[in-house]
Amino acid sequence: MNNVLERLARASFGARHVTSRERGASMVEYSILVAVIAGVVFAAATFMGGQISTLMDGVNLHT
């Protein structure tokens, strides 16, 4: 009986260990995704900065 409980305890610990590892991997993947999106937004703003500035200069804020 003790042997069965010991096996269950080991299996449970192993399953939790894998789950926490997967959570860590997911967090890293989302961090990389956020960094890539931020890089794309920054590159687009840098590349199109002059056009955006010209567009905003043409907008009349006083109606």
| 6-53 pLDDT, tens digit each | 776 676 666 555 566 677 778 889 999 999 999 999 999 899 888 877
pLDDT score of 19: 62
- Residue 62 φ/ψ region, left for φ over 0, alpha for ψ in the -120 to 50 degree band, beta for the rest: beta
The residues near 45 (Cβ < 8 Å, ≥ 6 apart) are 52
Higher pLDDT, 54 or 18: 54
What global pTM score does this model have?
Answer: 0.51
